[in-house]
């Protein structure tokens, strides 16, 4: 097929040429005297993206899923009770990971399309008078449903109830793209992945820890080796890693940080909001609904419900096979019910207009009753009226 594949999944995202070029380097000695000149500034600049001055950032050659494991196994003990709300596939997977690692997982089911219910959380924390809950596992941005939860509200619930539990935030599809403030929001462990807002290939788990979380490591008896934060911190202070790093990925991360910080994090957040809002207006113009209910919409991915007599997988297949466009599939409970448009990372207005046009063609080919051009027109008017 002539042309290129157009990637509109919520991760992996498009990697800019500047980052690809930065990663195209010969192998080098990661124990050399100059290696700290690469790693140490990266760890400092990550703090600007995580919005922390008092915390500490780490990079593991792994994935966001590994980041969950790093946070839990370093700051908690086997058998500890952790609380999580399940309102999408990634919250589900985080809960399952915690079970496999031997934690006592308290799961509360939430309708898919909504996020963390803050009133329920505060009430549950107040009930826990013996402070058996040691951590709240909060999915900031649930990619499978296009839902963003209120992490400052989670912190407020913890503070209002006087509960000392640690706050862990899965920000894999949030950090580097939508508003996140580790210090201001009182997040103890935040988890990101390289393949979303950082615009890199998958392969890095990028984490931020508060001083409270780092202090908890001393009280953890959980067995760990490769994922030991103590080992990582001991090497990082001199600009090295305890085990072999992925040097090309670090060079790519260096360039990604340059791009994000040059744009400015507030501008990054505003750009993602505009991109997401244009897609949401297109969905409304089609007469369709998003999976995310009112007030919960994500600025990095929109999950779109197809009519009940249609199968979203057919739309995804047509988009890929006929128009060379990659869309996100519905996962688990929403499989076949939604398709997803990712609007995260290296993307602009015209990129999204291409996605919206391709989606319209795929839906029309599958006899979904929309007016050709309606979504594109709605997005065009929004993007034009809000462009700088």
DSSP 191-232: EEETTTTT---S--EEEEE-HHHHHHGGG-----STT-HHHH
Write phi, then psi, for 10 (nearest 5 degrees): -85, 25
Q: What's the pLDDT at 133? A: 98
Element (H, E) at 160: helix 151-160
Q: What's the pLDDT at 227? A: 97
DSSP-assigned beta bridge partners for residue 297: 147
Q: What's the pLDDT at 388? A: 87
Q: Are 145 and 303 in contact (CB under 8 A)?
A: yes
Which tens digits make up the pLDDT trace of 169-226?
999 999 999 999 999 999 999 999 999 999 999 999 999 999 999 999 999 999 999 9
The beta-carbon contacts of 312-318 under 8 Å, at least 24 apart in sequence, are 312/336, 312/337, 312/338, 312/339, 314/366, 315/339, 315/359, 315/362, 315/363, 315/366, 315/368, 316/362, 318/361, 318/362, 318/365, 318/366
Q: What's the pLDDT at 313? A: 98
Q: How far apart are CA 91 and CA 83, in angstroms?
A: 11
Q: How far apart are CA 346 and CA 173, in angstroms?
A: 14
Q: What's the pLDDT at 238? A: 98
Q: How far apart are CA 154 and CA 162, in angstroms?
A: 12
Q: Are 337 and 314 in contact (CB under 8 A)?
A: no
Q: What's the pLDDT at 11? A: 95
Q: Are 114 and 169 in contact (CB under 8 A)?
A: no
Q: What is the pLDDT along the chain (388 residues), one digit of tens a residue?
A: 788 899 999 999 999 999 999 999 999 999 999 999 999 999 999 999 999 999 999 999 999 999 999 999 999 999 999 999 999 999 999 999 999 999 999 999 999 999 999 999 999 999 999 999 999 999 999 999 999 999 999 999 999 999 999 999 999 999 999 999 999 999 999 999 999 999 999 999 999 999 999 999 999 999 999 999 999 999 999 999 999 999 999 999 999 999 999 999 999 999 999 999 999 999 999 999 999 999 999 999 999 999 999 999 999 999 999 999 999 999 999 999 999 999 999 999 999 999 999 999 999 999 999 999 999 999 999 999 999 8
Total residues found in the chain within this entry: 388
Q: How far apart are CA 234 and CA 135, in angstroms?
A: 25
């Amino acid at each position: 097929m002539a042309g290129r594949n157009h990637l509109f999944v919520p991760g992996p995202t498009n990697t800019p040429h500047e980052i690809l070029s930065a990663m195209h380097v010969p192998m080098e000695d990661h124990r050399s005297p100059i290696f700290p000149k690469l790693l140490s500034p990266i760890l400092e600049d990550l703090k600007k993206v995580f919005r922390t001055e008092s915390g500490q950032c780490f990079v593991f050659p792994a994935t966001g899923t590994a980041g969950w494991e790093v946070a839990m196994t370093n700051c908690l003990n086997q058998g500890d009770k952790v609380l999580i709300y399940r309102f999408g596939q990634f919250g589900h997977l985080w809960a399952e990971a915690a079970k496999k690692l031997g934690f006592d997982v308290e799961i509360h089911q939430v309708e898919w399309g909504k996020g963390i219910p803050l009133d329920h959380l505060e009430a549950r924390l107040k009930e826990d008078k013996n402070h058996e809950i040691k951590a709240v596992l909060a999915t900031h941005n649930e990619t499978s449903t296009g839902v963003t939860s209120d992490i400052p509200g989670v912190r407020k619930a913890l503070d209002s109830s006087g509960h000392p539990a640690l706050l862990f935030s899965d920000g894999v599809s949030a950090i580097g793209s939508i508003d996140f403030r580790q210090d201001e929001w009182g997040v103890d462990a935040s988890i990101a992945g390289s393949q979303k807002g950082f615009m890199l290939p998958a392969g890095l788990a990028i984490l931020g820890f508060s001083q409270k979380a780092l202090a908890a490591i001393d009280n953890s008896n959980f067995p760990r080796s490769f994922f030991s934060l103590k080992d990582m911190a001991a090497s990082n202070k001199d600009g090295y890693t305890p085990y072999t790093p992925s040097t090309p990925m670090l060079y790519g991360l260096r360039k990604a940080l340059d791009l994000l910080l040059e744009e400015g994090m507030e501008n990054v957040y505003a750009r993602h909001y505009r991109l997401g809002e244009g897609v949401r207006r297109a969905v409304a113009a089609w007469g369709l609904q998003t999976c995310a209910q009112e007030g919960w919409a994500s600025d990095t991915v929109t999950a779109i419900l197809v009519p009940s007599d249609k199968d979203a997988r057919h739309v995804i297949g047509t988009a890929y096979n006929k128009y060379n466009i990659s869309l996100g599939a519905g996962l688990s409970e929403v499989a076949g019910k939604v398709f997803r448009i990712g609007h995260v990372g290296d993307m602009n207005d015209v990129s999204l207009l291409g996605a919206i046009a391709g989606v319209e063609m795929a839906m029309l080919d599958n006899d979904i009753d929309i007016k050709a051009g309606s979504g594109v027109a709605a997005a065009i008017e929004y993007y034009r009226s809000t462009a700088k």
